[in-house]
Every structure is written in structure tokens, then in C-alpha cells.
Amino acid sequence: MANHGKLFTFAVHTLLMAISVVMLIPFLLVVSISFSNEQSIVQHGYSLIPSQWDLTAYRYIFKVPQVVVRAYLVTVTVTCIGVLLSLTISSLTAYVISRRDYAFRRVTTFYIFFTMLFNGGLVPFYILMTQILGLKDTLWALIMPGLLSAWNVMILKAFLGRIPVEIIESAKMDGAREWRIYMGIIVPLSMPGMATMGLLISFTYWNEWFNALLFIDNQKYVPLQLLLVRMMNSMEILQMNLFQLGVPNLDIKNLPSQSARMAMVVVAAGPMLVVFPFFQKFFVQGLTLGSLKG
């Protein structure tokens, strides 16, 4: 039986390693294309090892760093503010509906869950953001739509529901008020779940581009992902920026297309790849402890 268990464990680990390698290959291909010569891509196609190494794509992108740096600053600002506010609002909402002594817990939970099934539609959403709230061409147009997600609330509710109610009751007997209980007891005990949800929220804000496409016309507030989408649709955006800024010694007509697009993908995805390993321990623990029960 012990040998069969070891064989099963080895087979599972081998399968997971193979899946991990398969999932890693597309990203390695993107990195390889970004360092490839444009002509070699046209002649030989894509390959994991570039036939001709070339940094032209990165030179073209960072010849005008104002465009990329400005988009980076917008994305970082939106992500930091959005994660902080969204995590606070989501955790407070989840904490309320996870409390058994809350009289309207079932009604409120159903109300939140109902929003996962239906929404008001794109046109009312656009009218609300632009005409009623007046958030067009502001950073808040990128932050507010993601402040409260029903899915995040339900995940945090499942996690917070595992905290023994006796701890809260003993804190009340000691004279602690609700805010003190939340900040002094609930937040420290739910740190793995908070970190996991914060990481997922940060991915959402970092990769968001559709709201920017709807509400942002001012170039000062264009986030990194929208810039990436525009560059992938047409390299004319980068060409126009180079021409308007009057950068000398640039052969705009021969601007790399495929390699520059992939280089922009690497530039956009890089920070999240660096941040994720630091949260991996909390991520695994949070998914394990905070999983939804059937």
C-alpha cells in the first residue's frame, strides 16, 4: 500500500509539473518574440529560441519613456488605491453578513448574490458613470467600478465565517465595540484570506482596460493595459507618439510590429510576476481555508 501511495504521489506530481510547463511555454514564447529580430520572425516564424537576438523593440518602446512611464504611474496608482478601498469595503460587507447575530443576514446575502446573476447593462452603467457621477476622464472612473464585487464578498464571507463566534462574544464581554473587534481581532485572524483577496483584486485592477476604453479620452489617464491594447491593435499609436515628440534618428516606417507588441506585454506583466511569489504562501492558505462550501 505504501508503494502504491508513493507511485500515485509521483504520478500526480509529474502530471502537475507537465501542466505547469505547458502553461509556462506561451509566456516564454512571448519573451522570446520580444527579443527577436522582426525580419527573422517574418521569415522563420515564432520559436522559443530566437534565431536572431535583437533589442530593437525595447529600444523603440523606451525611446519615449514618457508614454510608458505615465501609463505605469496611472496603473500603479489605480491598483494601489483600488486594492486598499476594495479590500476594506468588501471585508466590511463580508464581516457583517458572516455574523450570526445579524438579523438580516440571509436577506442581505441573497441581495448580494443576486447581483452576480443580473446587472443593469452597459448603457445604464455608462450613463451612471459619465452623466450622474461625472467621472469621465478621471482616475475614479477606473477605481469605482471594481470597489465592490459580489464574488469577493462571498469568498471573504466564507473565510470570515470560520472564525469562532466565541472570540467575538468574549471581546464584547470585555467591552470591545464593533470597530475594535473588527480591527483588533477579525483583521489579524483573517490575514491569509485578506492577502489572497488583495492579490486577486490587484490582478483585476492591473489588467483592467475596458473601463478605461469607455471613460478615458484624456491621454494623461490612459492605463498601461489600454496602451497595450491600442499597440496590439495598431502600431500607429506608438508611431504617432514618436513623431509628435520629435525624437530624432528614428526610422518610423520600419518600426517593429510583432516584437514590439510582445515587448509591451513583457513590460506590462513584469511587476505582477515579481509581486506574486511574495504572496504565494498567503494565496495557497487563503484558497484552502476560504473555499466556498457546497
Q: pLDDT by residue (tens digit) across 158-186?
A: 888 888 888 888 888 888 888 888 888 88
Alpha-carbon gap, residue 254 to 193, rounded angstroms:
49
Query: Is the pLDDT reported for residue 71 higher than 50?
Result: yes
Give the confidence band of 225 by pLDDT, cuts at 50, 70, 90. confident
Alpha-carbon dihedral sign for residues 133, 134, 140, 143: positive
- Distance between CA 79 and CA 95 in Å, rounded? 23
* CATH code matching the domain that covers 64-289, chosen among 3.40.50.1980, 3.40.50.300, 1.10.3720.10, 3.20.20.80: 1.10.3720.10
11-15, 57-61, 105-109, 188-192: segment of lowest average pLDDT: 57-61
Q: Is 36 helix (H, G, I), strand (E, B) or coil?
A: strand
Over 70: is that where the pLDDT of 253 sits? no
The residues spanned by each domain of the chain are 1-54, 64-289
Nearest Cα residue to 139 out of 211, 200, 88, 227: 211
User: Given phi > 0 = left and psi -120 to 50 = alpha, else beta, which region is 121?
Assistant: left
Q: What is the pLDDT of residue 74?
A: 92
Mean pLDDT computed over 60-79? 84
**What is the model's pLDDT at position 21?**
84
**For the packed helices 65-98 and 56-63, what is the interaxial angle rounded to 10 degrees?**
80
Contacts of residue 65, defined as CB under 8 A and 6 or more positions apart, other chains included, come to none
Residue 289 pLDDT exceeds 60: no
Q: Which one is predicted more confidently, 40 or 146? A: 146
Least confident among 57-61, 62-66, 99-103, 240-244 = 240-244
Confidence of residue 82 (pLDDT cuts 50, 70, 90): very high
